[in-house]
Amino acid sequence: MTAPSTQNEIDTALQELRFEQHRSEFTRKLAYVVAAIGKIPDSAPEEFTADAMARLRELADETVEAIERRIDAGGDAEHVQRLAGTVYAIRRRMEAVEIWFKHFASER
């Protein structure tokens, strides 16, 4: 899977995530987004442009916003804790993508 196709899939999953009412489906789609962000550094670096990096940052921020809205909507404590932990997972994965991107961008 290439970085651009992964990014498109993240975008699609995020759009679905925003409107998902069922907790299990929300969680499944969220897990997909987190895993997909984590796979970006496995892509060929020449496929990932500065514009793609900017869009990925937006998608990550939008995912965090969707999580925060879900937390604000209420729910059981265990689910809220997991969702809060997912925000940190997204941030950690994005840090790894940023490091990967900066490393290869400096070589271009």
* Tens digit of each residue's pLDDT, the chain (108 residues): 567 788 899 999 999 998 888 888 999 999 999 999 999 998 888 888 899 999 999 999 999 999 999 888 876 667 888 888 999 999 999 999 999 999 987 765
Number of C-beta neighbours around residue 101 at 10 A: 20
Whole-angstrom distance, CA of residue 70 vs CA of residue 30: 11
Whole-prediction pTM value?
A: 0.89
Angle at 88 between CA 26 and CA 25, to 5 degrees: 5
